[in-house]
Structure 1
Amino acid sequence: MRAVEFQEYGGPEVLRIVRAAAPEPGPGQVAVEAVWAGVNFADVKARAEGYRVTSLPYRPGLEVSGRIRAVGEGVEGLRAGQEVAALLDGGGYAEVVLAQAARVFPLPDGLDLRSAATLPTVLPTAHALVHEVGRLRAGENVLVHGAAGGIGTVVGQLAQAAGAGAVYGVASSDAKADYALKHGYDEVFRPGTFETDVRRATGGRGADLVLDPVGGDTLRRGLESLADFGRLVSFGNAGGAEPWRAGQGDLYARGRSIGGFSVLALARSAPDALRMLTERALRTVRDGTVVLPVTAEFPLSDAAGAHRLIGGRTSTGKLLLRIAD
């Protein structure tokens, strides 16, 4: 089979097509013949910085869609030939991938493989940010960083469906702002001025819910832009700053709170909770509440091209690798 891996850290050029034997599933595992693979910023950080890489060579890729090739011992409810999406710890840039059975999700009727590849990381993350962790209530306003990305695209739609009073986004360019305004956002601000912009937009009240994948100073400014009793949810550290900290003085005086979420951490620590979350989230696609546009696709042989696009911070929506024709 073909796969993409890197043997050293560096730019997109370190990604190489290799030939390898197709893996066989062990106990509790499923082998999937991948048709599509999602491309995420975490893949770029893995290649450039070693993010979540345990050893080299390494195959990136956290999500795929395809058909089950074989199931390992003890796997129930899944069968060869079944169309599925899968959340991985890595290795998704390959024609055959291994996944833990608890992270393999049969596709509901009407969901095609191309669309399904956009979902395993983005959809449950967005659902948790709005509902399980963010606990957005009807009439509240929400401020979302990275509004034009995959997660931001879904969050805007979920927040509107939840009855948000207003959905504000943060985007770094006019093109990204225009994209976000077409996918559930009422107003979009720039990263340098978002805290004053949200105060203006809310008459000085601030945001009820802030969703932050950036970290560092952006997170601190987001905390300061919260309304009384507001919540901030951290779901990444794209800025690469030191881990954030907040103490009693940051939270007690105005009843603010901070939460966090990582779909990969949940998959490791509470796979049953991940499955229930993903099943709830998939219903929003089936009923038409959420649509996640594929804005660019690349063949497996041009994984480097996908990395250049997403690493350049100009992409919107979701990027895919086409594994099989």
Structure 2
Amino acid sequence: MRAVEFQAYGGPEVLQLVQSAVPKPGPGQVTIDAAWAGVNFADVKARAEGYRVTSLPYRPGLEVSGRIRAVGEGVEGLQVGQEVAALVDGGGYAEVVLAEAAAAFALPDGLDLRTAATVPTVLPTAHALIHEVGRLRSGESVLVHGAAGGIGTAAGQLARAAGAGAVYGVVSTDAKAGYALDHGYDEVFRADTFAEDVRRATGGRGVDLVLDPVGGDTLRRGLDALAVFGRLVSFGNAGGGEPWRVGQPELYAQGRSIGGFSVLALARTAPDAVRALTERALRAVAEGVVSLPVTAEFPLSEAAGAHRLMGGRTSTGKLLLRVTG
């Protein structure tokens, strides 16, 4: 089978199309004939700096959709030929993908394989940020960094569906601003002035919820954008800064709180919780509550092109690799 791997860290050019043996499922596992694979910023970080890479060569890819090829011992509820989406901890850039059965999800009626490939990392994350961790209530306001990205696109829609009083975004370019405004955001701000812009937009009150994948100084300034009793949820460190530390002085005075979320980390420690999250996310997509536009797709052999687009920080929505066809 064909797969995409890298044997050294570097630019998109280190991604290589290789021939590899077809994996076989062990107990509690399935193999999937992949139709589509999602491209995520975590894949770019893995290739560039070894993020979450345990050894080389390494095969990126955290999410796929396709049909069950084979099932391992003890697997129940999944059958050969069944259409699924799956969350995998690497290995998704391949024609046949090995997945834990607990992280493979049968598609609800009306959800096609191409759309399903956008779900496994982005939609459960966005759902958790708005609901389970962020606990957004009707009438509250939310500020989302990376508003034009995959998670940002979904989070804005989910916030609106949850009855948010105002949905604000942070973007880096005019093109991304236009995209975010077309996908549910009321106003969008730039990274260097967002805290001041939030205060202006809210009459000095601040927002009830901030969703931050950047970390570092952006996270610290996000605290300044919170209202009394506001919550900030960290879900990444895309800025590459030092790990953030927040203590009593920043939180006690106005009753603020900080939470965190990683769908991959949760999948390792609480797979049942991720399963419930993903099933809710799949239903939300199938019912039209939220949609994640695929703004670019590449054949598997051109994975480097997808990485160049995402690494250039100009992409919006969701990027996919077309594995078959």
Q: TM-score if structure 1 supplies the norm length?
A: 1.00
Aligned to 1:259: 259
Q: CA RMSD in A?
A: 0.5
Deviation of 1:282 (Å): 1.5
Aligned to 1:232: 232
Tell me, in whole angstroms, the C-alpha distance in 2 between the residues paired with 1:117 and 1:167. 26
Deviation of 1:290 (Å): 0.4
Aligned to 1:154: 154
AA paired with 1:25?
P
Is 1:14 aligned to residue 14 of structure 2? yes
Look up the SS of the partner of 1:231 in the other structure: strand
Aligned to 1:77: 77
Aligned to 2:86: 86
Is 1:217 aligned to residue 226 of structure 2? no
Identity of aligned residues (%): 83
Is 1:68 aligned to residue 68 of structure 2? yes
Deviation of 1:52 (Å): 0.2
Aligned to 1:35: 35
AA paired with 1:190?
R
Matches within 5 A, 1:167-316: 167-316=167-316
Tell me, in whole angstroms, the C-alpha distance in 2 between the residues paired with 1:22 and 1:102. 21
Deviation of 1:263 (Å): 0.3
Deviation of 1:256 (Å): 0.1
Tell me, in whole angstroms, the C-alpha distance in 2 between the residues paired with 1:289 and 1:277. 15
Tell me, in whole angstroms, the C-alpha distance in 1 between the residues paired with 2:294 and 2:76. 32
Task: List structure 1 segments (4+ residues) > 3 angstroms apart after TM superposition.
Answer: none
Look up the SS of the partner of 1:120 in the other structure: coil
Cα distance per residue 1:224-258 (max 9 Å; x no partner):
11000000000000001111110011101100000
Look up the SS of the partner of 2:61 in the other structure: coil
Tell me, in whole angstroms, the C-alpha distance in 2 between the residues paired with 1:210 and 1:306. 29
Aligned to 2:142: 142
Look up the SS of the partner of 1:160 in the other structure: helix
Deviation of 1:67 (Å): 0.3
Which structure 1 segments of 5+ residues have no match?
none
Is 1:124 aligned to residue 124 of structure 2? yes
AA paired with 2:237?
N
Tell me if the contact between 2:119 and 2:281 (Cα under 8 Å) persists in the aligned partners: no
Look up the SS of the partner of 2:240 in the other structure: coil
Cα distance per residue 1:139-168 (max 9 Å; x no partner):
100000000000000001000000100000
Look up the SS of the partner of 2:229 in the other structure: strand
Deviation of 1:10 (Å): 0.4
Aligned to 2:52: 52
Tell me, in whole angstroms, the C-alpha distance in 1 between the residues paired with 2:9 and 2:163. 44
AA paired with 1:253?
A
Tell me, in whole angstroms, the C-alpha distance in 2 between the residues paired with 1:303 and 1:317. 17
Which structure 2 segments of 5+ residues have no match?
none
AA paired with 1:99?
A
Aligned to 2:96: 96
Look up the SS of the partner of 1:267 in the other structure: helix
Deviation of 1:199 (Å): 0.3
Deviation of 1:259 (Å): 0.1
Tell me, in whole angstroms, the C-alpha distance in 2 between the residues paired with 1:111 and 1:46. 30
Cα distance per residue 1:51-109 (max 9 Å; x no partner):
00000000000000000000000100000000000000000000001001110000000
Look up the SS of the partner of 2:131 in the other structure: helix
Residue correspondences, number? 325
Look up the SS of the partner of 2:319 in the other structure: strand
Tell me, in whole angstroms, the C-alpha distance in 1 between the residues paired with 2:304 and 2:60. 12
Deviation of 1:277 (Å): 1.1
Tell me, in whole angstroms, the C-alpha distance in 2 between the residues paired with 1:259 and 1:45. 23
Deviation of 1:116 (Å): 0.4
Aligned to 2:114: 114
AA paired with 1:246?
V
Tell me, in whole angstroms, the C-alpha distance in 2 between the residues paired with 1:88 and 1:287. 25
Deviation of 1:279 (Å): 1.0
